Amino acid sequence: MRKVTITEVARLAKVSPMTVSRALRRPESVSVELRARIHTAVNRLGYVTNLAASRLASSRTQLVGVVVPTLYNVIFAEYLLALHEVLIREGFHVVVVNSRYSESEEEEAVKALIGQRAEAIVVAGIHHTPLTRRILSRSRIPVIETFELSPDPIGLNIGFMQEEAAAVAVRHLIAGGRRRIAYFAGNLDDRALARLVGYRQAMSEAGLENEIAITQIVRMSTIQLGSDLLRKCIEERGVPEAIFCIDDNMALGAMQECRKRRILVPQDVAIVGFHDLEFAACLSPSLSSVATHRFETGQLAAQRLIESLKSGEPLHREQIDLGFKLIPRESTAIE
pLDDT of 29 > 90? The answer is: no
**More confident site: 138 or 163:** 163
Number of structural domains, the chain? Answer: 3
pLDDT at 18: 87
* Three-state secondary structure call for residue 101: coil
Query: Model confidence over 280-295: pLDDT tens digits?
Result: 999 999 999 999 999 9
Torsion of the alpha carbons at 174, 247, 192 and 180, rounded to the nearest 10: 30
Q: Contact 331/265 with Cβ under 8 angstroms? A: yes
Domain check: are 215 and 261 in the same one?
A: yes
Q: Tell me the CATH number at 88.
A: 3.40.50.2300
* Three-state secondary structure call for residue 321: strand
Q: What is the mean pLDDT of the chain?
A: 92
Q: How confident is the model at residue 56 (pLDDT cuts 50, 70, 90)?
A: very low
Could you say which DSSP state residue 4 is in? Answer: P
Task: Give me the domain span that covers residue 315.
Answer: 63-160+294-322
Query: Model confidence over 192-251: pLDDT tens digits?
Result: 999 999 999 999 999 999 999 999 999 989 999 999 999 999 999 999 999 999 999 999
pLDDT at 25: 75
Give domain status of residue 331, yes or no.
no
Query: Model confidence over 65-117: pLDDT tens digits?
Result: 999 999 888 889 999 999 999 999 998 999 999 999 999 999 999 999 998 89
